[in-house]
A and B are shown apart, each in its own frame.
Chain A
Amino acid sequence: MGNHLLEVRDLSVRFHTAQGMVNAVNGISWHLDRGETLAILGESGSGKSVSASAIMNLIDTPPGEITAGQILFDGVDLLQAAPEMRRRTNGKRISMIFQDPLSHLNPVYPVGWQIAETALAHGWTKTAAYDRALSLMARVGIPDPQAALSKYPHEFSGGQRQRLMIAMALMLKPEILIADEPTTALDVTVQAEVLSLLEELKAETGMGLVLITHDLGVVADAADRAVVMEGGRIVEAGTPHDLYHSPKHPYTQKLLAAAPGKGVMRTAGKLAPPILEVHDLKKSYGAFEALRQVGFDLHAGETLAVVGESGSGKSTIARLVLRLEEATSGQVLWKGEDLLAKSPKEMAKLRRQLQMVFQDPTQSLNPHMTVFEIISEGWAIHRDILPKSQWRARVAELLEQVGLSAAHAMRAPHQFSGGQRQRIAIARALALEPEVIICDEAVSALDVSIQKQVIDLLGDLRDRLGIAFLFIAHDLPLVRDFADRILVMQKGEIVEQGTVHQIFDAAQHPYTQRLLYAGLDADPDVQAERRRKRRMLERA
Chain B
Amino acid sequence: MNDTDIDVNAPVKTAPRTGRAGTMLRLLWADKLAFGAAVFVIVIVLCATIGPAVLADAASGTNLRLRNAAPFSMEHGPLYILGGDALGRPLLARIIVAAQNTMMIAAGAVVASLLIGGFLGLVAGYVGRMTGEVIMRLADVIMSFPSLLLAVIVLYMLQASIANLILVLAITRIPVYLRTTRAEVLEVRERMFVKAAQVMGASSRRIVFRHILPVILPTLLTIATLDFAFVMLAESALSFLGIGIQAPEITWGLMVSQGRQYLTSAWWLAFWPGLVIVLTTMSLNLLSSWMRIALNPTQRWRLEIGGKSNG
Contact = CB atoms under 8 A, between A and B. Distances in A.
Interface stretch (B129-137, B191-199, B274-282): B191-199
Contacts of A44: 1, 3
Interface string A343-383: 00001111110111010100111111000000001101110
Contacts of B8: 403-405
A258 B199 CA distance: 31
Nearest to B295: A368
A414 interface: yes
A368 B297 contact: yes
Nearest to B300: A412
Nearest to B202: A381
A341 interface: no
A170 B4 CA distance: 37
B3 A381 contact: no
B200 interface: yes
B12 A408 contact: yes
A281 interface: no
A447 interface: yes
Please classify how large the interface on chain B is, using the bins under 10, 10 to 19, 20 to 34, 35 or more: 20 to 34
A417 B199 contact: no
A368 B214 contact: yes
A277 B30 CA distance: 58
B200 A381 contact: yes
Contacts of A419: 3, 6
A312 B301 CA distance: 42
A368 B215 contact: yes
Nearest to A366: B193
Interface residues of A, number: 54
Interface string B1-33: 111101011011110000000000000000000
Contact of B1 (A363, A411, A417, A446): A417
A358 B232 CA distance: 48
A127 interface: no
B199 A450 contact: no
Contacts of A364: 192-193, 195-196
Contacts of A45: 1-3
Contacts of B14: 410-411
A293 interface: no
A355 B214 CA distance: 24
A351 B196 CA distance: 11
Interface in B296-311: 296-298, 301-302, 305
Interface string A412-430: 1011011110010100100
Given A231-B2, A417-B1, A358 B192 contact: yes
Contacts of B203: 348, 381
Given A45-B3, A405-B8, A382 B201 contact: yes
A410 B12 contact: yes
Interface string A463-485: 00000000000000000000000
A327 interface: no
A181 interface: no
Given A45-B1, A414-B297, A377 B197 contact: yes
Contacts of B302: 18
Given A407-B12, A414-B297, A420 B2 contact: no
A423 B193 CA distance: 15
Contacts of B200: 351-352, 355, 377-378, 381, 428, 432
A449 to B, nearest CB: 6
B292 interface: no
Contact of B201 (A46, A358, A381): A381
B298 A349 contact: no
A324 interface: yes
Contact of B192 (A354, A360, A377, A423): A360
A322 B193 CA distance: 15
A382 B4 CA distance: 35
A363 B215 contact: no
A43 interface: yes
B201 A417 contact: no
A354 B195 CA distance: 14
Nearest to B301: A18
A181 B196 CA distance: 30
A446 B197 CA distance: 22
A415 to B, nearest CB: 7
B76 interface: no
B211 interface: yes
B298 A414 contact: yes
A472 to B, nearest CB: 14
A367 B12 contact: no
A46 B192 CA distance: 28
A371 to B, nearest CB: 11
Interface in A41-63: 43-46
B3 A412 contact: no
Given A45-B1, A322-B199, A449-B3, A363 B192 contact: yes
A254 B195 CA distance: 35
Contact of A377 (B1, B6, B202): B202
Contacts of B211: 366
A18 B201 contact: no
A366 B203 CA distance: 16
Count chain A CB atoms within 10 A of each CB in B195, B203, B215, B302 and give the residue with the most.
Answer: B195
Interface in B137-195: 191-193, 195
Nearest to A44: B3
Contacts of B301: 18
Count chain A CB atoms within 10 A of each CB in B4, B9, B215 and give the residue with the most.
Answer: B4
Contacts of A347: 201
A411 B199 CA distance: 23
B4 A450 contact: yes
Contacts of A18: 301-302, 305
Interface in A213-262: 231, 254
A354 to B, nearest CB: 8
A534 B296 CA distance: 51
Contacts of B198: 324
Given A18-B305, A368-B214, A377-B202, A417 B196 contact: no
A404 B6 CA distance: 8
Contacts of A354: 199
A43 B6 contact: no
Contact of B297 (A367, A405, A453): A367
Contacts of B191: 363
A453 B206 CA distance: 33
A454 to B, nearest CB: 10
B210 to A, nearest CB: 8
Contacts of A418: 1, 3
B3 A450 contact: yes
B201 A348 contact: yes
A453 B202 CA distance: 30
B3 A43 contact: yes
A367 B298 contact: yes
B9 A405 contact: yes
20 contacts: A18-B305, A43-B3, A44-B3, A45-B1, A351-B201, A356-B199, A358-B195, A360-B192, A363-B191, A365-B193, A367-B297, A368-B215, A377-B197, A377-B210, A382-B201, A407-B12, A414-B298, A417-B6, A419-B6, A420-B6
Closest 8 CB pairs between A and B? A351-B201, A363-B192, A364-B192, A412-B297, A348-B201, A366-B193, A414-B298, A368-B214
Given A411-B14, A418-B1, A447-B3, 8 more contacts: A18-B301, A43-B3, A231-B2, A324-B199, A364-B193, A366-B193, A432-B200, A450-B4
